[in-house]
């Protein structure tokens, strides 16, 4: 028994030495867990910390002013616009400047003084149903507190304030309405990133890469030949998720397929550029897979797919500007649910162009220098 345990201990020692001897392995064992722990703690939170809202107060009485003062006094709600007419509502919701609009009617105070119920209408940007639902819950708590205070201060106060909600782009606040359009981009990114990262590393490991080098093709031509099929497969993956959303879950698409695929093509190009850069610096498939998994989780956490980017700390919001998935998800959701055109989402298209213009040349440079 002692000899058996000694042999097992020797094998374990040998394996641990093999793992820790490689500096890359030491980094991979510690760095991903450390970074992702901080990302989950700060970025992946469903707690609302920053809810921008716009106000349309058509009454401007003392009661409505007091109600809004209670809301502004919280650390969660921040007024970004004071509207003058109902026609202004669409502008702040469609642009994403405000998560919700609070509308108070012209007879608000008159209805309360007459003993009638007075509604406070909430117009929600329901592209993220979880966030919109949470915001309604917070406002309901503020209104309930206001009702209790008013009943205790005003003898014989009439019926309390009531909340009426209207959810735009997702009338039933269904989670899948914002999740599935986001998956059109995120699932295709995982596939494209993995395929691109393994493309060169696989050939190096199988020994076919040397045969490819003796062909008349230049390194740039080899890279382009590996990028185009991966881009096509990524778009195919996006199409599969799109078909599931449209025909199985019956989520209506309001926008143009042309606009959608222009954005998806730019996004897939950026993802392939990242994947090819990983492949160029990886000595084998194991390294390529480890580097890819190291990159995928932060990209998804910092994309805004599950939790809003505006709720993240300021430093992480800056980091998301280098994440192509952030802009792709916003573009797909707006085109799919809102039906906006290409000019409306140009603020997403331009970053995707910039990221593609950086990652693909970077992959070409790494690819060429690795071959030299």
End-of-domain residue from the set 136, 168, 200: 168
C-alpha dist (Å) from residue 252 to 61, 169, 261: 41, 10, 17
Q: Are 279 and 196 a contacting pair, CB within 8 Å?
A: yes
Query: Is the Cα torsion angle 219, 221, 226, 228 positive or negative in sign?
Result: positive
pLDDT of residue 214 exceeding 90, the answer is no
pLDDT in tens, 236-256: 889 999 999 898 888 889 889
- Whether residue 162 sits in one domain with residue 124: yes
Domain that holds residue 73: 51-168
For the chain, the domain total comes to: 2
Residues present in the chain in total: 372
Q: Within 10 A of 305 (CB to CB), how many other CB atoms are there?
A: 23
pLDDT of residue 158 exceeding 60, the answer is no
Alpha helices in the chain (DSSP H): 2-21, 23-42, 62-72, 89-94, 108-113, 129-153, 175-206, 209-213, 219-243, 257-281, 285-301, 314-319, 324-333, 346-371
- Whether residue 197 sits in one domain with residue 256: yes
**What pLDDT sits at residue 115?**
74
End-of-domain residue from the set 168, 202, 237: 168
- Whether residue 184 sits in one domain with residue 147: no
Tokens of 187: 């699932």
- Whether residue 129 sits in one domain with residue 60: yes
- Whether residue 252 sits in one domain with residue 109: no
Tokens of 273: 């550029």
**Cα–Cα distance for residue pair 143/136, rounded to 1 Å:** 10
In a domain, 80, yes or no: yes
In a domain, 26, yes or no: no
**What pLDDT sits at residue 126?**
82
pLDDT in tens, 260-298: 999 999 999 999 889 888 887 877 777 788 888 888 888
Q: What is the CATH number of the domain that holds 82?
A: 3.40.1710.10
Q: How confident is the model at residue 324 (pLDDT cuts 50, 70, 90)?
A: very high
End-of-domain residue from the set 168, 200, 223: 168
Average pLDDT, integer, range 24-42:
64
In a domain, 126, yes or no: yes
In a domain, 32, yes or no: no
- Whether residue 314 sits in one domain with residue 186: yes
pLDDT-above-70 percentage for the chain: 85
In a domain, 360, yes or no: yes
Between residues 238 and 173, the one the model is more confident about: 238
pLDDT in tens, 86-105: 888 888 888 778 888 999 88
**What pLDDT sits at residue 262?**
93
Determine if residue 339 is left, alpha or beta; phi over 0 gives left, psi from -120 to 50 gives alpha, anything else beta. left
In a domain, 10, yes or no: no
Average the pLDDT over each of 92-101, 207-216, 256-265, 331-340 and give the range with the smallest value: 207-216
In a domain, 20, yes or no: no
pLDDT of residue 156 exceeding 60, the answer is no
pLDDT of residue 160 exceeding 90, the answer is no
């Amino acid at each position: 028994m002692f000899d058996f345990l000694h042999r097992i201990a020797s094998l374990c020692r040998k394996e641990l030495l093999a793992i820790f001897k490689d500096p890359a392995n030491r980094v991979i064992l510690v760095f991903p867990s450390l970074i992702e722990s901080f990302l989950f703690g700060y970025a992946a939170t469903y707690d609302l910390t920053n809810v921008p809202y716009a106000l349309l107060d058509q009454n401007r009485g003392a009661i409505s002013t007091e109600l809004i003062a209670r809301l502004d006094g919280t650390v969660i709600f921040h007024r970004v616009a004071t509207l003058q007419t109902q026609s202004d509502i669409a502008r702040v919701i469609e642009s994403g400047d405000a998560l919700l609009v609070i509308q108070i009617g012209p007879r608000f105070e008159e209805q309360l003084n007459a003993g009638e119920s007075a509604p406070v209408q909430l117009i929600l940007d329901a592209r993220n149903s979880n966030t919109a639902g949470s915001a309604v819950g917070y406002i309901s708590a503020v209104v309930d507190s206001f009702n209790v205070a008013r009943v205790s201060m005003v003898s014989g106060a009439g019926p309390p304030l009531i909340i009426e909600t209207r959810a735009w782009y997702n009338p039933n606040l269904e989670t899948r309405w914002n999740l599935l359009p986001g998956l059109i981009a995120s699932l295709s990114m995982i596939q494209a990133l993995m395929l691109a990262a393994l493309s060169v590393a696989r050939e190096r490991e199988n020994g076919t890469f040397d045969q490819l080098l003796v062909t008349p093709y230049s390194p740039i031509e080899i890279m382009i030949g590996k990028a185009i099929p991966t881009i096509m497969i990524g778009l195919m993956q996006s199409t599969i998720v799109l078909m599931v959303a449209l025909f199985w879950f019956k989520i209506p698409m309001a926008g143009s397929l042309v606009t959608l695929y222009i954005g998806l093509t730019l996004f897939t190009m950026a993802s392939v550029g990242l994947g090819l850069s990983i492949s160029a610096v990886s000595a084998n498939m194991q390294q390529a897979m480890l580097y890819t998994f190291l990159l995928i989780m932060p990209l998804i956490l910092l994309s805004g797919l599950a939790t809003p980017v505006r709720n993240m700390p300021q430093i992480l919001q800056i980091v998301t500007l280098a994440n192509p998935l952030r802009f792709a998800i916003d573009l797909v959701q707006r085109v799919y649910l809102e039906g906006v055109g290409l000019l409306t989402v140009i603020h997403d298209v331009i970053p995707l162009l910039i990221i593609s213009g950086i990652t693909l040349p970077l992959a070409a440079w790494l690819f060429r220098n690795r071959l030299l």
